[in-house]
């Protein structure tokens, strides 16, 4: 799994940062890509990345401000032109269906793939055997969500060495033992597969936040996360302005990560007032509270 940042700026595009879009690639896990937000020109950013629109399975929109949704109509259309034919689902706050359908209708755009639009009406957004996505409302003046992606725990590894020492040869029998079954060997010996399976591997937890001021709901999304992706629109010195515009500072993002007992923090959604040379200072501010902090730049890739 990887996080690929396609846009990391706040509000408007700048020369150094496009507006928000984050791809979560899960090619090994489910042969697909999920996108979180889709600001203006996201499809242009994708052209400069390894992402294939045909692999795009789901899009999660945090809120309906333009810097998070203005790229949607073009991206949905381009996916059709580029041969995407599998179903795509868009999740988002109330109003996202009207926005998408109106944009496609007035432009005469006809998609060649099934498009499902789900307006969030509960805490569980999506769930299958491998992943669960839950959300909580944030504090941004407009309905804005944080998403928590929980990967299911994976079965432990089979101790092939110990089995070989017993004379068990690799083959179909290993599959049965891996499933925890009890098998009888040719010599009559009974082997309990559950005794040769290591501890389960805990699934990863990723917390991706929309725009917000500090709010208690954030802890529910961030608790024990392997990685938190959080806006840090303003530096520490801009606390009053951050509160007024309902955004977060570097210190607020870092405090959340610390309180949540998270493992890693990636800050993004950086105001255009900050240049690339300011990145080090923004990260340093976070690291005074939460040392394992990084800052996202456009096209940065973080392995999870």
**In a structure prediction context, what are the per-residue pLDDT tens digits for the chain, which is 304 residues long?**
999 999 999 999 999 999 999 999 999 999 999 999 999 999 999 999 999 999 999 999 999 999 999 999 999 999 999 989 999 999 999 999 999 999 999 999 999 999 999 999 999 999 999 999 999 999 999 999 999 999 999 888 888 888 888 888 888 888 888 888 898 888 888 889 888 888 888 999 999 999 999 999 999 999 999 999 999 999 999 999 999 999 999 999 999 999 999 999 999 999 999 999 999 999 999 999 999 999 999 999 999 9
Q: Active-site residue numbers?
A: 67
Secondary element (H or E) of residue 227: strand 227-231
How far apart are the C-alpha atoms of 154 and 31, rounded to whole Å?
17
Long-range interactions of 48-54: CB distance < 8 A, separation 24+: 48/299, 49/4, 49/6, 49/23, 49/299, 50/4, 51/4, 51/6, 51/23, 51/25, 53/78, 53/79, 53/82, 53/84, 54/79, 54/82, 54/83, 54/84, 54/85, 54/86
- Residue 48 and residue 299 in contact, taking contact as beta carbons nearer than 8 Å: yes
| Token pair for 64 | 């309906």
Residue 67 is assigned to a ligand binding site: yes
DSSP 62: -
Region of residue 278 (left: phi > 0; alpha: psi -120 to 50; beta: else): alpha
Residue 230 is assigned to a ligand binding site: no
The domain locations on the chain are 2-154+203-303, 160-195
Sequential DSSP letters for 34-54: EEE---TTHHHHHHTSS--GG
Does the domain at 2-154+203-303 match CATH 3.40.50.1000? Answer given as no
How far apart are the C-alpha atoms of 271 and 286, rounded to whole Å?
16
- In this predicted structure, what is the pLDDT of residue 217? 95
pTM equals: 0.91
Is 174 in a helix, a strand, or coil? helix
Q: How many CB atoms lie within 10 A of CB 171?
A: 8
How far apart are the C-alpha atoms of 40 and 67, rounded to whole Å?
6
CA geometry: angle 119, 206, 148, nearest 5 deg: 30
**For the chain, the helix, strand and coil percentages under 3-state DSSP, each to the nearest 5:** 30, 30, 40
How far apart are the C-alpha atoms of 243 and 231, rounded to whole Å?
13
DSSP 208: E
Residue 211 is assigned to a ligand binding site: yes
| Token pair for 296 | 């996202």
Q: Residue for token digits 């006809």?
A: 110
- Residue 246 and residue 141 in contact, taking contact as beta carbons nearer than 8 Å: yes
- In this predicted structure, what is the pLDDT of residue 208? 98
């Amino acid at each position: 799994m990887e996080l690929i940042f396609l846009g990391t700026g706040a509000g408007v595009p700048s020369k150094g940062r496009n507006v928000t879009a984050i791809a979560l690639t899960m090619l090994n896990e489910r042969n697909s890509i999920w996108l979180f937000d889709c600001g203006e020109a996201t499809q242009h950013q994708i052209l400069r990345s390894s992402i294939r629109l045909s692999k795009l399975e789901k899009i999660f929109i945090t809120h309906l401000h333009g810097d998070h949704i203005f790229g949607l109509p073009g991206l949905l259309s381009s996916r059709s032109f580029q041969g995407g034919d599998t179903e795509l689902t868009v999740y988002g706050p109330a109003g996202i269906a009207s926005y998408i359908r109106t944009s496609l209708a007035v432009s005469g755009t006809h998609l060649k793939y099934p498009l499902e639009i789900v307006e969030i009406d509960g805490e569980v957004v999506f769930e299958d055997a491998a992943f669960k996505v839950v959300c909580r409302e944030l504090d941004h003046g407009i309905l804005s969500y944080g998403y928590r992606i929980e990967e299911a725990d994976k079965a432990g590894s089979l101790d092939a060495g110990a089995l070989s020492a017993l004379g068990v040869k690799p083959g179909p029998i290993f599959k049965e033992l891996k499933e925890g079954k009890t098998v009888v060997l040719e010599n009559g010996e009974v082997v309990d597969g559950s005794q040769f399976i290591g501890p389960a591997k805990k699934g990863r937890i990723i917390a991706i936040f929309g725009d917000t001021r500090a709010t208690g709901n954030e802890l529910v999304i961030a608790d024990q996360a392997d990685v938190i992706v959080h806006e840090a629109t303003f530096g520490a010195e801009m606390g009053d302005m951050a509160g007024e515009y309902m955004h977060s500072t570097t210190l607020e993002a870092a405090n959340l990560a610390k309180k949540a007992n998270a493992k890693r923090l990636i800050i993004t959604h950086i105001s255009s007032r900050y240049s690339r040379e300011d990145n080090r200072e923004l990260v340093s501010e976070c690291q005074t509270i939460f040392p394992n902090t990084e800052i996202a730049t456009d096209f940065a890739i973080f392995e999870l």
